[in-house]
Amino acid sequence: MDLFEYHDGHLWCEAVPVRDLAARYGTPLYVYSAGTLAAHYHRMQQAFAELQPLICYSVKCCSNVHILRRLAALGSGFDVVSGGELYRALRAGADPAHVVFAGVGKTAREMREALEAGVGLLNVESASELEALAAVAAEVGVRAEAALRVIPEVDARTHAYTTTGTRANKFGLPFEQAAELVRAFAGSPHVHIRGLHLHIGSPVYDPQAYAVSIGRALELLDRLADAGLALDTLDIGGGYGAHYKGHESPAATDYAAAIVPLLRDRNLRVILEPGRSIAANAGVLVTRVLHTKETGCRRFVIVDAAMTELIRPALYSAYHFIWPVEAGERVPRDWTPAQPLDGLVTVDLVGPVCESGDFLAQDRPLPPLRPGDLVAVFTAGAYGMAMASQYNSRPRPAEVLVEQGAARLIRRRETYADLLRAEDDLDA
Ligand code: LLP
């Protein structure tokens, strides 16, 4: 699952004690394990090897350029959703032909940047966007390689904010509209519609949800082929799960078991866009207890990380396993609240931000915590730092990558001066 393990009551990241990292770099601190990142990338690659897919790591989940460089070196492509993510991927040494560009609202500038860079595929989500892409491609003097994101009408049974496969969500096109666009743009000198794109939500813990949506996309591809409009690419998106509580996520091989049989004889170029399944378990957020207090109805543990460092609990009521870095003799990585442990105290773990929604955990049984104690929030490698903000004018935390026995700072802690960087040189 990951290379964050307790030995003799201390949390280690690979061969480095997390306590030492907190002492050296301060808290709150994101700590990533390069070995875990690589292991999860390889698991995805091996599980789907029969399809020889292009794996495009989803940059949005953890976009530090040094992490992207490690993945590029492993041969990963990249799924980007903005000009900024494209910039990061290119700075990381990505092969532009192995970059796919998604998103419902690409601007003309972003389209131009993607086309000038030679991005391999633009995933288009509306007729209006396709027309705009054709116009920009004409200006740039290239033929854009595109896929149409379709709505497979599959409810992935994930959080309402991250469900994307139904007509009630802003993403994608109904099948009949997509078919119409493939017909209308056949032979266009400016856009080459090569395939279909699916992404039904994230995280999706039911591999069958992929099977159903891919099955529907294949029916559409067959109908188009029968009409002389054969496409050669199917991008099946991301959303593969991670372990937030124990070992609850299907393995890469479970997803592959549901998906590969549908695609093995199809002669399609298959693209996958995993983010969380690669990065989530490869990162922890380390935070220090500042204060504790009781209000008569709740016990609060106030730590130096907040919704500004990890917004998932506040935004999606997401559960992250949390445990002291110096855990004594307990090694509870697989512990869940269903298994009672002695000596725990039920607390709300909250941050310093001025919002009652600022919590990392509510009603959580934890060993007694005192000011100064270090706490690790696990499975924070995806949608953690990438969604961090400076709200309440909190400088964003540092990020450290542990690799082959050594820790490297991959993002320095922001300073107060960083907070004003885009403001204070303006004569306003
Ligand atoms: N491809 C597309 C088109 C996507 O929209 C996403 C995620 C992915 C791939 C990668 O999904 P992953 O494999 O990482 O689950 N902030 C939320 C997740 C939002 C996901 C948005 N799109 C969270 O913290 O759970």
Any idea where the domains of the chain sit in the sequence?
4-31+280-420, 34-276
- The verdict on the CB of residue 100 being under 6 Å from ligand 1 is no
d(CA 201, ligand 1 centre) in Å: 7
The residues annotated with a catalytic role in the active site are 354
d(CA 172, ligand 1 centre) in Å: 15
Nearest atom (ligand 1) to Cα of 203: 15
Phi, psi dihedral angles at 46 (to 5 degrees): -70, -40
Q: What is the pTM of this model?
A: 0.97
**pLDDT tens for the 428 residues of the chain, in order:** 789 998 888 999 999 999 999 999 999 999 999 999 999 999 999 999 999 999 999 999 999 999 999 999 999 999 999 999 999 999 999 999 999 999 999 999 999 999 999 999 999 999 999 999 999 999 999 999 999 999 998 888 788 888 787 888 899 999 999 999 999 999 999 999 999 999 999 999 999 999 999 999 999 999 999 999 999 999 999 999 999 988 899 999 999 999 999 999 999 999 999 999 999 999 999 999 999 999 999 999 999 999 999 999 999 999 999 999 997 655 566 655 556 677 889 999 999 999 999 999 999 999 999 999 999 999 999 999 999 999 999 999 999 999 999 999 999 999 999 999 999 999 99
Which one, of 124, 129, 179, 117, lies nearest residue 146 by Cα? 124
CA 30 to chain CA centroid, nearest Å: 15
d(CA 238, ligand 1 centre) in Å: 7
DSSP state of 412: P
- The verdict on the CB of residue 240 being under 6 Å from ligand 1 is yes
d(CA 394, ligand 1 centre) in Å: 25
Which one, of 54, 421, 119, lies nearest residue 273 by Cα? 54
- For residue 221, the cross-strand partners are none
Q: Which mutation among 202, 205, 244, 276 tests ligand 1's pocket best, with the greatest number of atoms within 8 A of CB?
A: 202
Superfamily, domain 4-31+280-420: Lyase, Ornithine Decarboxylase; Chain A, domain 1 (2.40.37.10)
d(CA 159, ligand 1 centre) in Å: 12
Q: Whose CA is nearest to atom 9 of ligand 1?
A: 238
Q: Which mutation among 58, 85, 123 tests ligand 1's pocket best, with the greatest number of atoms within 8 A of CB?
A: 58
At residue 254, the pLDDT reads 98
- The verdict on the CB of residue 92 being under 6 Å from ligand 1 is no
Q: What does the alpha-carbon distance between residue 250 and residue 242 come to, in Å, rounded to a whole number?
A: 8
Q: Quote the tokens at residue 81.
A: 């959703």
426: how many CB neighbours lie within 10 A of its CB? 7
Omega before residue 203 within 30° of 0, cis: yes
Q: What does the alpha-carbon distance between residue 326 and residue 259 come to, in Å, rounded to a whole number?
A: 42
- The verdict on the CB of residue 64 being under 6 Å from ligand 1 is no
d(CA 202, ligand 1 centre) in Å: 5
Identify the residue whose tokens are 């307790």.
6
- The verdict on the CB of residue 103 being under 6 Å from ligand 1 is no
- The verdict on the CB of residue 199 being under 6 Å from ligand 1 is yes
- For residue 253, the cross-strand partners are none
Question: Is CATH 3.20.20.10 the classification given to domain 34-276?
Answer: yes
- The verdict on the CB of residue 382 being under 6 Å from ligand 1 is yes
